[in-house]
Structure 1
Amino acid sequence: FRLEFNQREVCLSFCVCFSSTAWASYMTNSPTVIVMIGLPARGKTYMSKKLTRYLNWIGVPTKVFNLGVYRREAVRAYKSYDFFRHDNEEAMKIRKQCALVALQDVKEYLMEEGGQIAVFDATNTTRERRDLIQAFVKEYSFKVFFVESVCDDPDVIAANILEVKVSSPDYPEKHRERVMEDFLKRIECYKVTYQPLDPDDYDMDLSFIKVINVGQRFLVNRVQDYIQSKIVYYLMNIHVHSHSIYLSRHGESNHNVEGRIGGDAELSPRGKQFARALQEFIGEHKLSDLKVWTSQLRRTIQTAEELGVPYEQWKILNEIDAGVCEEMTYQMIQETFPEEFALRDQDKYHYRYPGGESYQDLVQRLEPVIMELERQGNVLVICHQAVMRCLLAYFLDKGAEDLPYMKCPLHTVLKLTPVAYGCKVEMFYLNVEAVNTHRDRPLPPGCKPRELQLEGEEPREKTHC
C-alpha cells in the first residue's frame, strides 16, 4: 500500500530492547541496501550521513558508499560539467564502472564484514541504473529500499550548493561564482535523463519514500519490514532548519558529593549555585525561544526551576537505572558485588545492572528524545551523565565502545549546532566547582592513558601501549 503525507505530523515510537547479539538481527533479518535517488544538490548525502549515524546509534551496523568518492579516485582531476553529459561516452563508461566497483564493496561489507545496511549514495536517476542495482540485490538476496529526494525550490538548491559544493574536492579553487555556474550546468546534464520514481506504474512494486522539498511532503510506497518503517519514521522527523541543542547535566547533587550513583538526591549548595549561573548563561546568550526539558528526578527539576522559564519533564530522560546498585558508591559495589563490578568493566555498553539497565537499553529508551530533538528548534536538555553520553554519542557519531566513557562534566554546557555533514560543538564551563564523577576506561596491562583535548567535540581518552 502507499501512504502520502503533507505535514510532519507523524510521531510514532519504536522502543524495543534486546540483547546485544539479538538486536541487530531482529531489526534486519536480511541485509538491506538503501539506494538514494535524486538530482545533485538535493540533500542526498546529508540524508545518507544522518541516516547512517542514526542506524549505527541504535545498534544496526551501517555504512555509506558515496559514488562521488569512487569517481574521484578513478578520475583524479575534475575539469567541468562536461564529464556528466549523457553523450560523453567515455565518461559514461567510467561512471558505470565506478558504480559496479562500489556495489562490489557493498557486497563485501554486507556478506563478509558484518554489515547490516549499506547506503548507496549516488544520483541513480535513470531506470537503467536502478535496474542494475535491482539485479545486484536480487543476485545476493539483499533487500532494497529507495530514498528519492525531490526539490524544485531554487533557494534551497542554491543554499545547498554554496554550503556544501563550494568545499567539494571537485572545486579546489573554491570560487563561489564559478562553482555555482559549473554545478548548475552539471544539474542540467542530469535533468536530461532523469526518470523519477513512478509509484503508479513502472515503480509501483518498489519499496521507497519520496522526500519532497526537504520534508514539506512525503510519499511512501510498499514498506515491507520493520527496518524500512524505522527509516521512514526517521526521515520524516529530520529537518534542515538552523537550530542549536544545549546539553547540560543537573547541578551537583548531594549524591555526587558522596560518590553515590542513581537515586533522587537534591542539589548541593554548589549545584544550586550552578543553577543560578545557568540562568545567567541563558540570559547572556539571549535564548528567549529556548525550550527546556528535564527528567523527572529532583536534581534536574531543581536546576530548571532557577531558570524562571517553563520546562517539560520527561521520564525517559531519567538517569540509567542501576538496579540493586542504586545509591551505592563504586567502592561499595566492588565490595558487595565484585563479579558484577568486573563484568561492567569488561563491557560497559552492554552490561546490565541486576534489576536495572544497560547503556544499550538507555539508547533505545532515548530514541523518542532524539526524534523530538530533530524536529524542534532550540532546546536545552538538563539531564544526567549516562543520558548525556547517549545523546552526545548520537550527534557526534560515537560507537558503543566509546559512548560509556565520553566525558560529560558537571557545571558545563555543550552547544551542538548541526552543520552540513556533521555537528559543531561548543563547550561552556560556568565557573562553578563540582566533583568529578567520571570513571576512566580500565586499561589493559602495560598501557597508559592518553588524553585527546576538545577540538570541536568532547574529549575522550585513548590508550597507547
Structure 2
Amino acid sequence: MVGLPARGKSYITKKLARYLNWLQHDTRIFNVGERRRMPADMDSMDQSANFFDPSNKRAALIREQCAMDTLDELLDYILEGNGSVGILDATNSTLERRKVIMKRIRERAGTELNVLFLESRCVDENLLESNMRLKLSGPDYKDQDPVAALEDFKKRVAIYEKAYVPLGEYEEKNNMPYIQMIDVGRKVISHQIRGFLSAQANYYLLNFNLAPRMIWITRHGLSMDNVSGKIGGDSDLSSEGIQYAKTLTKFIEHARREWDMKQLHKLTHSHFPPQPGDTTPPNPHYQPNDNNELPQKSFCVWTSMLKRSIQTAQFFDDEEYDSKQMRMLDELNAGIMEGLTYSSIAEAHPAEYALRKKDKLHYRYPGPGGEGYLDIINRLRPVIVELERMEDHCLLVGHRSVARVLLAYFRGLKREEVADLDVPIGMLYCLEPKPYGVDFKAYKWDKKTEWFYEQPNFQLKRAEDDMQ
C-alpha cells in the first residue's frame, strides 16, 4: 500500500483481503501501525504528531524497524507458510521507503514474487475531512478531545506530505506494476498489471463505492420439497412459505422507511466542519439536495430462476421495487442426486455420501450439471462485484448454498466454515457496508405474529447436521 494517512488504505486492504480469501487465495494483511503501537516496541513513547517528524531520530529508527519487521513477517507468510497474497498496510509514501522495500523483497524472494503497489489518494476535500474524523475513534486518538486530536492528526499528515512522492514516474521508468485509486474508486489508474491475482485485484478495485445502503439476504420460504426432505428440484412454496413471502414484503417495506428516517437524523447531527454533539462524519457520497432532502434510493429484489425463490418475492410491488431473476442465484445442482433425500443418498450412494461428508467444500455432485461449493463461489463472483458497485438497496432471495457463500464473503469467514454455516429457512440477514467494515444484523421470522425480530449478538455458527 502507498498513501498519506486517512486516505482509506486500511479500508481498501480489508475489502481486498476479504475478496481474495473468499476466492480461496490465502491472504493476510500486515499492518505496520499495529506493530508500532505494541507496548514492547514503543516503550511508552509519545505517538503524537512529533513521533512522525523526520528530525525525531529515535522515532524514525523505531518506525523503520517496525516497517522492516512487518515486511519480514509478510515474506515469511508467503515464502515459508501457505500464503498466496500478503498486503503491507503502511504509508510507504516516500520513494526511498519503496526502494528499501523492493530491495528486501528481492533479497529474500528473488524475482519470482510479483509485487503490486496500490496507492490511495483523496482529492475530494469533503471525503478527506470525513476520513480524518473517522481516525479520531482509532487507537491513536481514542478517548482524546476530538478537536485537539483532529488538530494533531492534521499536523501528522502535514509532516508526511513534505516528503510524499506519489506513484508514477519512477515506477513507469522501471516497469513496476501499480494501481492508483483516487477518491476510493472515483478514478482508477492501472499500470502494467501482470499475473492472475493482480488482475483479480484490479477488477475488484474498479467496482468500489462508499454509498450507504442495505444488502438483505434470505432463503426462500418453505417449499413442498423442504417438507418432504428432498434436495434440489423446482417445487412450489408450501402454505407456510407463502405466509413467509407476505411477511417478508411487509417487513422490508418497514425497514426501508426506518432506514430513510435514520439517514435524515444523521444529516441533522453531522456537519462540515464538525460541531459539538456530532455523532458521525457525513458521507460525501450521499448528500442532500437544495431542499435539504436526501435522495430516494432504489431497492432491487433479486431471485434465482427457481419457483420457490421467485414465489417468495412475488408480493413486492413492481412500481416500488426493481425485481430481477438470475440463474447465478440458483441452488447448488445435485447432479444425479437431485430430488433425493439425504437418507436415500446414504443408502443408494454410500461412497459419494462419505466423500461429501469428509470434505463438503471441495466435493462436487456427480452427473450432468452436478456442482460443488467452489462452483457456487465462482458463479457468484459477478454478483459480489455488482453488489459492491451498486449504490441501491438490494434483497437477495436465494437458497442454502447461495446464502452460505454470500454471508461468508460479507462476514470474512474462513474457507472451512463456508459449507457448514447454519442458515435455516426463516432467517433474514442485513448487511450495511461502512467505511470501517460491514454492520451485520440477523432477524428471525415468527410464524405466529407474522413478523421478523432482531436476534441480539447473533453469530453465524456451524449447522448441527453437517450433511445438509
TM-score normalised per structure 1: 0.84
- Secondary structure (helix, strand or coil) at the match of 2:116 reads strand
For 1:56 and 1:410, how far apart are their aligned partners in 2?
A: 27
* Segment of structure 1 superposing worse, 227-236 or 137-146: 137-146
- Secondary structure (helix, strand or coil) at the match of 1:332 reads helix
Which residue is equivalent to 1:111? 79
Which residue is equivalent to 2:276? none
- Secondary structure (helix, strand or coil) at the match of 1:209 reads strand
Q: Say whether 1:458 aligns with 2:426.
A: no
Gaps of at least 5 residues in structure 1 are: 1-35, 434-452
Identity, in percent, stands at: 39
1:302-317 correspondence runs (5 A): 302-309=311-318, 310-317=322-329
2:63 aligned to 92, 95, 109, which one?
95
Task: Kindly indicate whether the alpha-carbon contact (under 8 Å) linking 1:396 and 1:422 is maintained by their aligned counterparts in 2.
Answer: no
Gaps of at least 5 residues in structure 2 are: 258-296, 449-454
Q: Say whether 1:320 aligns with 2:332.
A: yes
- Secondary structure (helix, strand or coil) at the match of 1:279 reads helix
Q: Say whether 1:362 aligns with 2:376.
A: yes
Which residue is equivalent to 2:452? none
Cα drift, residue 175 of structure 1: 2.8
Residue type of the partner of 2:403?
M
Cα drift, residue 421 of structure 1: 3.2
1:175 aligned to 145, 150, 174, which one?
145
RMSD: 1.9
1:429 aligned to 441, 444, 450, which one?
444
Q: Say whether 1:211 aligns with 2:181.
A: yes
Which residue is equivalent to 1:32? none
Which residue is equivalent to 1:5? none
Task: Kindly indicate whether the alpha-carbon contact (under 8 Å) linking 2:210 and 2:434 is maintained by their aligned counterparts in 1.
Answer: no
For 1:201 and 1:117, how far apart are their aligned partners in 2?
A: 21
For 1:286 and 1:362, how far apart are their aligned partners in 2?
A: 29
For 1:378 and 1:144, how far apart are their aligned partners in 2?
A: 36
For 2:136 and 2:463, how far apart are their aligned partners in 1?
A: 34
For 1:157 and 1:105, how far apart are their aligned partners in 2?
A: 31
Residue type of the partner of 2:95?
R
Which residue is equivalent to 2:33? 68
Cα distance per residue 1:277-309 (max 9 Å; x no partner)? 111112212367211111101111111112223
For 1:277 and 1:186, how far apart are their aligned partners in 2?
A: 52
- Secondary structure (helix, strand or coil) at the match of 1:40 reads coil
Residue type of the partner of 1:317?
L
Task: Kindly indicate whether the alpha-carbon contact (under 8 Å) linking 1:38 and 1:44 is maintained by their aligned counterparts in 2.
Answer: yes
Cα drift, residue 213 of structure 1: 1.4
Cα distance per residue 1:424-444 (max 9 Å; x no partner)? 1111223238xxxxxxxxxxx
For 2:10 and 2:176, how far apart are their aligned partners in 1?
A: 22
Task: Kindly indicate whether the alpha-carbon contact (under 8 Å) linking 2:184 and 2:208 is maintained by their aligned counterparts in 1.
Answer: no
For 2:330 and 2:464, how far apart are their aligned partners in 1?
A: 29
Cα drift, residue 454 of structure 1: 6.4
Q: Say whether 1:299 aligns with 2:269.
A: no
Task: Kindly indicate whether the alpha-carbon contact (under 8 Å) linking 1:62 and 1:116 is maintained by their aligned counterparts in 2.
Answer: yes
Q: Say whether 1:394 aligns with 2:406.
A: no
Which residue is equivalent to 1:437? none
1:44-193 correspondence runs (5 A): 44-73=9-38, 74-75=41-42, 76-139=44-107, 140-141=109-110, 142-163=113-134, 165-193=135-163
For 1:341 and 1:179, how far apart are their aligned partners in 2?
A: 60
Which residue is equivalent to 1:405? 420
For 1:235 and 1:52, how far apart are their aligned partners in 2?
A: 11
Residue type of the partner of 1:144?
V
Cα drift, residue 207 of structure 1: 0.2
Residue type of the partner of 2:79?
M
Aligned residues: 408
Task: Kindly indicate whether the alpha-carbon contact (under 8 Å) linking 1:278 and 1:307 is maintained by their aligned counterparts in 2.
Answer: no
For 2:50 and 2:378, how far apart are their aligned partners in 1?
A: 47
- Secondary structure (helix, strand or coil) at the match of 1:357 reads coil
Cα drift, residue 103 of structure 1: 1.3
* Segment of structure 1 superposing worse, 300-309 or 317-326: 300-309
Cα drift, residue 329 of structure 1: 0.6
For 1:124 and 1:248, how far apart are their aligned partners in 2?
A: 42
**Residue 227 to residue 328, structure 1, CA distance change in 2 (3 Å):** same
Task: Kindly indicate whether the alpha-carbon contact (under 8 Å) linking 1:323 and 1:353 is maintained by their aligned counterparts in 2.
Answer: yes
**Residue 362 to residue 454, structure 1, CA distance change in 2 (3 Å):** farther
Task: Kindly indicate whether the alpha-carbon contact (under 8 Å) linking 1:249 and 1:388 is maintained by their aligned counterparts in 2.
Answer: yes
Task: Kindly indicate whether the alpha-carbon contact (under 8 Å) linking 1:204 and 1:221 is maintained by their aligned counterparts in 2.
Answer: no
* Segment of structure 1 superposing worse, 255-264 or 407-416: 407-416
For 2:175 and 2:329, how far apart are their aligned partners in 1?
A: 41
Task: Kindly indicate whether the alpha-carbon contact (under 8 Å) linking 2:32 and 2:70 is maintained by their aligned counterparts in 1.
Answer: yes
**Residue 176 to residue 462, structure 1, CA distance change in 2 (3 Å):** farther
Task: Kindly indicate whether the alpha-carbon contact (under 8 Å) linking 1:405 and 1:460 is maintained by their aligned counterparts in 2.
Answer: yes
For 2:415 and 2:31, how far apart are their aligned partners in 1?
A: 24
Cα drift, residue 123 of structure 1: 0.2
**Residue 461 to residue 301, structure 1, CA distance change in 2 (3 Å):** closer
